[in-house]
Amino acid sequence: MKIPRLLQAVVVIAGVYFGFLIVFDYLLGAVIPKSLLTMYMFFVAAGVFMVFTYDEEKTRELVAPVKALVEDPAKRGARNLVFTLIPLLIGYSVYSQLQPGFEAPVELRTIHPAPPSTAKIYGKRVNLLSLENPFRKVEKEDPEKFAALVSDGAAVYIKNCQYCHGDKLDGKGPYAEGLNPTPLNFQDIGTIAQLQESYLFWRITTGGPGLPKEAAPWISSMPVWQNFLSEEEIWKVILFLYDYTGHRPRSWEH
C-alpha cells in the first residue's frame, strides 16, 4: 500500500523531532534546549516542504487530501472536526505559553562580553588592545624557565581558583554547584581558546564587578583578583590555564 505523501511528510518531520529527543536526551545524556529544537524543527519542516513540492505533480498529490477535506461534500464530518480542533489546539497552545509559571524566566547572558579598549587595573590605565603577557616570550627563549613560571601559576591556581573552576579546569570545582552562573569550563573549546591573553587578564583582575553593561545580569561571583593577587601572579595563572588545557591564546601571528 502506498503511503499518502502528506502522511509521509508528517512522518518525516515527526521522526526527526523524536530523533533529536532520543539522541540528545537519552542516548547522549545532554538535553537539547527547547529554544534550539524549535528553530531546528522550523527549518527541518521547510526542507521537507521543499523536497515534497518542487515537482508540480507531486505537489498536487501532497495537497490532494487537504483539498479533498476542504472541498469534498462527503468529508463534511471530518471537515467540521478538523476545523474545530485546529483553533482549539492553537488556543490551548497560546494559553499554555501565556500562563504564568513558577520557573524563573530564561536569562540570555553574554558569556564573553566585549572588553573596553582600556581599563584601570592596579591603579594604572591599561590598553587592552595592545596588552601582552610579559612571560609569553619566555616560552621560546627559555623553556625551562617557562615551565617554572607555569608551575608557579599552577600553585596560584590551586590555592585560589580550583574551588570554583575545578582541579581539572572543567568548571566543576567543589563550590561550582552553588553558583549561578556556573564557573567557566576552560577545557571547552569555546572559552579561553577563543580569547587573547589580555582578555583573560581583564576578566581575572576586575572580576564580576568589572563586567561591562552588556554582560547583564551582573551576578557573576568572580572576585576582583587584583585586590588579592599580584600582576605577575595573574599572568602566571594565565600561562597555566593555557598550558594545562592544551589551548593556545588567540593571536594573529606566530
Partner 1 sequence: MIIIDKIAGIYSLKSNRNKLVPWVVIVLLALVLLANDAHQNTIEAAQQVAEAIEDQAAAARTHVPAPKLTAADYPTVAGVNGRLVVWVVAQLHLWFAAFVLAVPIFVFIIEAIGMRTRDKRYDDMAYEFIKVSITAYSLTAILGGLLLFSLILFYPHLFTYLSTIFSETMLYYALLFFAESAVLYLYYYGWNWLQGGFRKWVHLTLGLMLNAVGTTLMLLANAWLTFMMSPAGVDPAGVFSGDSWAAIHNFLWNPINIHRFVANIAYGGSIVGAYAAFKFLTARNQQEKAHYDWMGYNANFIAICALLPLPFAGYYLAAEIYAYSQQMGITLMGGIFAWLFIIQAVLIGTLFLSANYYLWCGMGRSDGAKRYTKYIKYIAIVLVGSFLVWFTPHTLVLTNSELKSLGGPHHSILGPLGIMPAKNTAVNIMIIFTFLSFLFYRRSNKIATVSWEKTGNICQVALFSSGIANILFLGIYHGYFTNTVYKVAASIPQVVTTLVVIVGSLVLDSFIYRKSRDVGPLHWGRIPERAQYALFLLAVAFTWLMGLMGYIRSGIRQHWHVVDIMRDASAQAFTPTLGYAANVVSVAALLFLAMVIFVFWIAQVSSSKTLPAGYWKE
Q: Site for partner 1 (CB under 8 A): which residue of 109, 120, 145, 159?
A: 109
Q: Which of residues 34-93 bind partner 1 (CB under 8 A)?
A: 34-36, 39-40, 43-44, 46-47, 50-51, 53-56, 59
33 binds partner 1 (CB under 8 A): yes
Interacting residues of 240 by C-beta distance below 8 A, sequence separation 6+: 150, 153, 154, 156, 157
Number of residues counted as binding partner 1 (CB under 8 A):
61
Looking at the Cβ atoms of 28 and 78, the one nearer to partner 1 is: 28
Minimum Å gap between C-beta 195 and partner 1 is 8
CA-to-CA distance for 144 and 104, rounded, in angstroms? 51
Q: Could you tell me if 143 and 150 are in contact, meaning their C-beta atoms sit under 8 angstroms apart?
A: no
Taking the complex as a whole, the smallest distance from the CB of residue 184 to partner 1 amounts, in Å, to 8
Q: Counting contacts by CB under 8 A, is residue 8 touching partner 1?
A: no
Q: Which is nearer to partner 1, 145 or 250 (CB)?
A: 250
112 binds partner 1 (CB under 8 A): yes
Is 113 a residue that touches partner 1 (CB under 8 A)? yes
Residues 123-142 that bind partner 1 (CB under 8 A): 128-129
Q: Which residue has the cell 591556581?
A: 157
Alpha-carbon span 202 to 153, nearest angstrom: 17
CB of 167 to partner 1, least distance (A): 16
Pick the closer one to partner 1 by CB: 73 or 125.
125
Does 252 contact partner 1 by CB under 8 A? yes
Chain mean position to CA 228: 31
**CA-to-CA distance for 211 and 217, rounded, in angstroms?**
10
Closest approach, Cβ 155 to partner 1, in A, equals 25
Binding residues for partner 1 (CB under 8 A): 24, 28, 30-36, 39-40, 43-44, 46-47, 50-51, 53-56, 59, 103-104, 106, 108-117, 128-129, 171-172, 176, 180-182, 185, 188-190, 193-194, 196, 198-199, 214, 247-254
